[in-house]
A = this chain, B = another copy of it.
Amino acid sequence: MSHPVSPLAQPFPEVPAIAGVTPHVVRAGYKDWGRCDLTYVTFTEGTAVAGVFTKNLCCSSEVEIGRENVKRGTARALVVNAGNSNAFTGYRGREAVEQIMDQVAGNLGCAREDVFVSSTGVIGVPLPKDKAREGVEKAFSAAPCTWEEAANTIATTDTFAKGASATAMIGDTKVTLGAIIKGSGMIAPDMATMLGYIFTDAAVEPAFLQECLSAANLRSFSCITVDSDTSTSDTVLAFATGKAGNAPLVTAQSPGADAFAAAIQDVCRQLAHLVVRDGEGANKFIAVSVTGAVSDESARKVGMAIANSPLVKTAIAGEDANWGRVVMAVGKAGEPANRDTLSIGFGGTWAAKEGLPLADYDEAPVAAHLKGQDVTIEVDLGLGEGQATVWTCDLTHGYISINADYRS
């Protein structure tokens, strides 16, 4: 965390303890930094797991193995290494992950496939097996830590610790969700472009947990972008211990399933927003709201084309209501759009409607809106009922400074 704290940072929220989940942090020394960099979370027996992973075709061994093992639906532990992504390291990278899985499985007396491993940091350097072994060994006897400590430990270039929580009623039983996430650059959609972990005491069958997570992902992590670049390691995992004692959620028809799905959606949305708020160099949090598209997915794609446009993002950085650049971005999205039915606004004030600049366009409220930290761009395509909101940040000198100086 060597960069200045994002002006959009938010304080770490109250994230409650989750029954059946115990986090620990230790210092493995993956990098020459004076901080913990290995996070070890254990789960009681019977914990369900679900996950979404990067679609990047050059993904890490962690992603390959996790994607396979999440299908079994059970978990006993999570290990997160920070400072080394272990990506693009061939068989040596895979060996390091398997060593960690075996070591933890031996300690807990569980199947190796119940141990989930993530790594984040520099690409192309195999995770040092000796450091991993010593770190994991230390973790076995480490005292439990707070969620904020865990959030700080999974972080790399993040400038603030990120967490979220929610509750839901399942029948008469209150279930609790707590979550942490890391990520600030190499953030693009197409799934979950960062490392995020959601923990709950709810009793949920793995298949339904996956259904909830996948649905929430579509309207949260798949709707954010910082720089259009998709990491090779991105992972979001959800763990459900069942310790709340609710009647297990099996399908969307189970009593309380809606409330739980809404809570996981709420947590994912919170986490996704926090990642954007820590976007490299970000000074403004931008919501792009697209309506009138031929479908929700089409609206999302148009929104992402706007959110990924360097010219739109620099215009917002310059507090310039340059709606012409928004028109350009709509047109390049490749989705159905008609210049003559297109309307564009900022902060709730239309600048152009149905293909024409508004004759009585009052720029004053728009100029005032753009000076704020939270900016909205409204686009109505005038074609159908599809809608979506996506989130991004502005593109500033800070992004260049961070990424032209970062050493591989």
- Could you tell me which A residues sit within 8 Å of B by CB distance? 55-59, 85, 87-90, 92, 122-125, 185-186, 188, 190, 227-232, 308-311, 314-315, 317-318, 320-325, 327-334, 336-340, 342, 352, 355-357, 395-397, 399-401, 403-408
Say yes or no: B328 contacts A56, CB within 8 Å.
yes
Take A122-B324, A124-B357 as given contacts and tell me if A88 and B329 are in contact as well, using a CB distance cutoff of 8 Å: no
Q: Name the one of B357, B395, B408 contacting A125, with C-beta atoms under 8 angstroms.
A: B357
A334–B57 CA distance with the chains assembled, in angstroms: 7
Pick from B123, B125, B308, B320: contact of A327, CB below 8 A. Answer: B123
In the complex, what residues of B have CB within 8 A of residue A56's CB? 328, 331-332
By a CB distance below 8 angstroms, the chain B residues around A397 are: 397, 400-401
User: Chain copies in the assembly?
Assistant: 2
Judge whether A315 and B403 touch: CB under 8 Å.
yes
Known pairs A188-B332, A339-B57, A404-B318; A88 contacts B310 (CB<8 A):
no
Contact call A408/B331, Cβ cutoff below 8 A? no
Measured CB to CB, the closest approach of chain B to A163, in angstroms, equals 26
Is B57 a contact partner of A337 (Cβ separation < 8 A)? yes
Interchain CB contact under 8 A, A320 and B400:
no
Do B408 and A404 touch (CB < 8 A)?
Answer: no
Contact partner, A185, options B311, B331, B336, Cβ 8 Å = B311
Are the CB atoms of A318 and B406 closer together than 8 Å?
Answer: yes
Chain B residues whose CB sits within 8 angstroms of the CB of A322 once the complex forms: 406, 408
Chain B neighbourhood of A339, CB < 8 A: 57-59, 88
A408 CB contacts on chain B under 8 angstroms: 315, 320-325
Q: 17 other contacts beyond A232-B331, A318-B403, A322-B408, with CB at 8 A cut-off?
A: A57-B332, A57-B334, A57-B339, A87-B327, A88-B324, A88-B356, A92-B356, A227-B311, A228-B309, A228-B310, A230-B331, A230-B332, A315-B403, A317-B400, A324-B408, A396-B404, A399-B400
